[in-house]
Structure 1
Amino acid sequence: MAPIITLTAVTLLARLAGFLGAEPLDAWQTSLRIGLAAMFALTGAVHFAPRFRIDMIRMVPKRLPAPAALVTATGLLEIAGAIGLLIPATAPAAAICLALLLVAMYPANHSAAKRGITLAGKPPTPIAVRLPEQALFIALAILASL
């Protein structure tokens, strides 16, 4: 729930700032990129928070090697993508890369939901919710790339 709240709140605040006169923010696409950057900075940072990291490692499907390294790599990629979204010259490529990363990470979220793995004590998001949520994030990342 925190990623959706972060994405929505930051996007709307950036857009409001643009509406109120912050000219660089006076476009929905720019505001969306800022909202996505905030969301990915949050979700990337969580990969390194001890309270979440252990559960994220457990989320990685058993058939994949080096779960801790994969969690570290995906966290770093999310943070790098967030930074890339804030730089106009790299924003389109960063957005596409983040969309691809979301596709690549979905199996871990699906696996965690099927196996009932909690994240910091909270139950996993049900697949019926997680799949459309992931599709929304992918669609928004693609929109941010245009």
Structure 2
Amino acid sequence: METLVLLLTVLLGLRLIGALGVARFAAWSTCGAYALALMLIVTGATHFVPASFADTPVPTHADLVAMVPPWVPFPALMVYLTGVLELAGAVGLVLGRTRRWAGLGLAVLFVLLIPANIYAALAEIPFHGAPATPLWVRIPEQMLYIAVALLARRSVAGSTDGKARTATESVTISSPR
């Protein structure tokens, strides 16, 4: 739930900044890309926090390994892999040239993580000492992340309206007279 609050707070804050005149954040899609990137940096980093940090407010690698369904091979490695993918996706969202592919890749990743969310909810796996998040919360939250990742794909570097520029709009060609 904290990740949802982080995403929405940053999204609305960036959009407010855009409404106040910062052109980079004039489009919801760009704000979504940056907000999702920040959320992924936070969540991706937790994939690498050792279990010895269990007494801190930060979730650990062990908390995430517990969520992996038993039929998934090498659960610890899968948690590291998804952490790397989240961090790479965050970088891809911030770099305008890779934003479309990053948004698509993250949407696919979020879909692939749904079974872990279902397993954790149905098996009532506690998360960092807190009770398991119910399925009716997990699935809509995951759908929102997918939607924001797909929305972020609409944002292109150099464009404040979220639309790609055509070659004729980006380059002015002068003809000799």
C-alpha displacement of 1:56: 0.9
Q: Does 1:55 align with 2:55?
A: no
Deviation of residue 21 (structure 1)?
Answer: 2.3
1:96 — aligned with what? Answer: 104
Q: Determine the structure 2 residue equivalent to 1:112.
A: 120
Alignment partner of 2:95 out of 87, 97, 115: 87
Look up the equivalent residue of 1:42 and give its one-letter code.
Answer: V
Q: Who is 1:33 aligned against?
A: 33
Higher helix proportion: 1
Name the SS for the 2:66 alignment partner.
helix
2:138 counterpart letter in structure 1: R
- Report the AA paired with residue 49 of structure 1: V
The one-letter amino acid of 2:125's match is I
State the TM-score, normalized to the length of structure 2. Answer: 0.79
Question: Of 123, 128, 137, which residue of structure 2 is paired with 1:129?
Answer: 137
Cα distance, 1:84 vs structure 2? 0.6
Q: Secondary structure of the residue that 1:89 maps to in structure 2?
A: helix
Name the SS for the 2:100 alignment partner.
Answer: helix
Deviation string, structure 1 residues 41-74 (Cα, Å, up to 9, x no partner): 1111111123321121111111111111000000
- Cα distance in 1 for partners of 2:98, 2:111 equals 20
Deviation for aligned residue 1:99: 0.5
Match of residue 166 from structure 2: none
Instruction: Pick the aligned partner of 1:66 from 74, 83, 94.
Output: 74
Runs of 4+ in structure 1 over 6 Å off? none
Which stretch of structure 1 is more off in the superposition, 5-14 or 47-56? 47-56
Match of 2:13 in 1: 13
Bigger Cα Rg: 2
2:156 is the alignment partner of 1:139: no
Unaligned runs of 5+ in 2: 55-59, 155-177
CA RMSD of aligned residues (A): 1.1
- Structure 1 portions without partners, runs of 5+: none
Shift of 1:79: 0.7
TM-score normalised according to structure 1 size: 0.94
Give the drift of 1:80. Answer: 0.6
